[in-house]
Structure 1
Amino acid sequence: MPNAAFVLTVAGLTDVGRTRSRNEDDFQVSAGGEFAVVCDGMGGHAGGDIASRKAVEVICGFLQDHAQVEPITVVDREDADRTQTDPSAAQPAVRLALSVARSAVQQANRAIHDLNQARGFAQGRGMGTTVAGVWRVPGTAQMVVFHAGDSRVYRLRDGELRTLTRDHSLYQIWLDNGGRGTAPQRNIIVRALGTAEEVEPEVGVHSLMPDDVVMLCSDGLNGMLPDGVIARILRDEPEPARAAAALIDAANAAGGQDNVTAVVGRFIATA
């Protein structure tokens, strides 16, 4: 396919769900589709909603300062799915993007941690939040994916759904160790923003191809819907805003046991 200019068209939606009284999720999508962030706050009365809002504000502000609107060209098909998490081995634009994304998350962590300290919470207590985000590397057909906790990023390509993140949870550790014995609760996470002075987000870079669909969500979505249902909705609804709404509706129809947030993006030609 000849190179052409492409954009990532993104839309999102959040809902309190069917059982919670307050929505502690938050998200933001940049006006030009350069980045998207989903956060799932923790802490209840301690301010999970404040933590998620603060993380979104800090991360998106940091990324916006580094976003550049440049023509995007499509990589060759044989290079379509290379993932590179080692900044020293990546091209300069990717190295910078990986560094910026990591710094954005770490700055948000410090901001929330400082709020906890100001409120008198001991280390490891108070409010916190997960984060999952994507940032299209300026001038390329690649995106940085970053996360901490169990909010997720998925990519639908040629009808097949792939999870681009790996949950930072006790349940995932249990699975990684062979799944022997009693399974821990799925919602116990081992990495989050705000609960410690330092955090190391997981970051990587993934290719974008024409008609790729990217989906970010809090665990209120994937906790209610199996991947097959998520994939079917993303295949059936090409318009991102309607796809996000359909995913929220399906999660609520399945019980809506948590706040639920979905952000959907499609990589499409500008002409």
Structure 2
Amino acid sequence: MPNAALVLTVAGLTDVGRSRSRNEDNFHVSMDGGFAIVCDGMGGHAGGDIASRKAVDVIANLLGGYAEVGTTVTPDAGDADRTHGDLAGIEPMVRSAMSLARSAVRKANRAIYDLNSARGFAQGRGMGTTVAGCWHVPGTAQLVVFHAGDSRVYRLRDGDLTVLTRDHSLYQIWLDNGGRGTAPQRNIIVRALGTGEDVEPEVAVHSLQSGDAVLICSDGLNGMVPDGIIARVLREEAEPARACAALIEAANEAGGQDNVTVVIGRFTAS
């Protein structure tokens, strides 16, 4: 529907799971601003929950200060997904949004790093967090996706599920190098917020169409539930809040070995 505005319906849910005593995940959903963020804290007693909350607050405040309330969106023809390396072909508002998203993640990283330094933790120690988020850019049919770590963003389009992010993990590096030798643990993260003075998030832009569903999750979901089941739930449950609950239930039924957080947005033609 090339001339129809897109309407976003979104919901989020988090759960401690069945094996952890504390939930170190945090998330934020902005209906007016059209963005959502999921952070998976690391550090246990060092304050993983504090790190994830700090990251969510810093990023949400920066994006919320820019987002325009009530802007309608007109889908472009075709599917023009681009990474941040293809900026020449991206309209100015989208380039600006990508730049702001990158800056927001970097500021969140520095805020957590400073907290660690104030507590006497050396670089690479203390609390940290992954981040994954997406932002429906005002006035466009584009979705800015940003992440650092192994929290993920998926898109369901015409029944097909696509991962829009690439895990920053030792296991993913092992896969990229051909998967030779013994596989490392899946939860060893090679990029996160707060563990170093600087961080470089991955930022990309993806097209939106009527009927698309976007999922952001911590690895407590995809670490327990195969992508095929995630896709089936998204196909069968159109209402985001019920789909969030169904996916968390599936993660817990599979063992619930980690905190699990799910945010789902659906885009429909008005």
TM over 0.5: yes
Equivalent runs, 1:161-180 vs 2, <5 Å:
161-180=161-180
Are 2:91 and 1:85 aligned? Answer: no
Aligned counterparts of 2:36 and 2:7: Cα–Cα separation in 1: 13
Alpha-carbon offset, residue 195 of structure 1: 0.3
2:193 aligns with 193
Instruction: Provide the aligned length of Structure 1 versus Structure 2.
Output: 268
Aligned counterparts of 1:140 and 1:44: Cα–Cα separation in 2: 40
On the 8 A contact 2:5/2:73 being kept in 1, the answer is: yes
Alpha-carbon offset, residue 7 of structure 1: 2.0
Q: In structure 2, list runs of 5 or more residues that go unmatched.
A: none
Aligned counterparts of 1:82 and 1:167: Cα–Cα separation in 2: 18
On the 8 A contact 2:33/2:68 being kept in 1, the answer is: no
Letter of the 1:72 counterpart: V
2:44 aligns with 44
Percent identity reads 74
Q: Which deviates the most, 164-173 or 91-100?
A: 91-100
Describe the shift of the 1:89–1:74 C-alpha distance in structure 2 as closer, same or farther (beyond 3 A): closer
Equivalent runs, 1:43-82 vs 2, <5 Å:
43-69=43-69, 70-76=71-77, 79-82=78-81
Describe the shift of the 1:33–1:215 C-alpha distance in structure 2 as closer, same or farther (beyond 3 A): farther
Alpha-carbon offset, residue 88 of structure 1: 4.0
Deviation track 1:78-109 (CA, whole Å, cap 9, x = no partner) reads: x2242232234421011101100000000000
Root-mean-square deviation (Å): 1.0
Runs ≥4 residues deviating over 6 A: none
On the 8 A contact 1:7/1:33 being kept in 2, the answer is: no
TM-score normalised over the length of structure 2: 0.97
On the 8 A contact 2:150/2:189 being kept in 1, the answer is: yes
Aligned counterparts of 2:185 and 2:84: Cα–Cα separation in 1: 29
On the 8 A contact 2:174/2:180 being kept in 1, the answer is: yes
Equivalent runs, 1:1-271 vs 2, <5 Å:
1-32=1-32, 34-69=34-69, 70-76=71-77, 79-86=78-85, 87-270=87-270
Aligned counterparts of 2:256 and 2:154: Cα–Cα separation in 1: 20
Deviation track 1:185-238 (CA, whole Å, cap 9, x = no partner) reads: 000000000000000000000000001000000000000000000000000000
On the 8 A contact 1:9/1:33 being kept in 2, the answer is: no
Give 3-state SS (helix, strand or coil) of 2:82's partner: coil
On the 8 A contact 2:29/2:35 being kept in 1, the answer is: yes
Aligned counterparts of 2:83 and 2:51: Cα–Cα separation in 1: 30
Q: In structure 1, list runs of 5 or more residues that go unmatched.
A: none
Letter of the 1:244 counterpart: C
Aligned counterparts of 1:89 and 1:73: Cα–Cα separation in 2: 18
On the 8 A contact 1:116/1:127 being kept in 2, the answer is: yes
Deviation track 1:48-94 (CA, whole Å, cap 9, x = no partner) reads: 00000000000000000110132200111xx2242232234421011
Aligned counterparts of 1:33 and 1:223: Cα–Cα separation in 2: 30
On the 8 A contact 1:37/1:134 being kept in 2, the answer is: yes
On the 8 A contact 2:2/2:76 being kept in 1, the answer is: no
Letter of the 1:212 counterpart: D
Letter of the 1:84 counterpart: T
Give 3-state SS (helix, strand or coil) of 1:58's partner: helix
Aligned counterparts of 1:106 and 1:227: Cα–Cα separation in 2: 30
Aligned counterparts of 1:55 and 1:257: Cα–Cα separation in 2: 23
Give 3-state SS (helix, strand or coil) of 2:20's partner: coil
Aligned counterparts of 2:4 and 2:49: Cα–Cα separation in 1: 41
On the 8 A contact 1:8/1:33 being kept in 2, the answer is: no
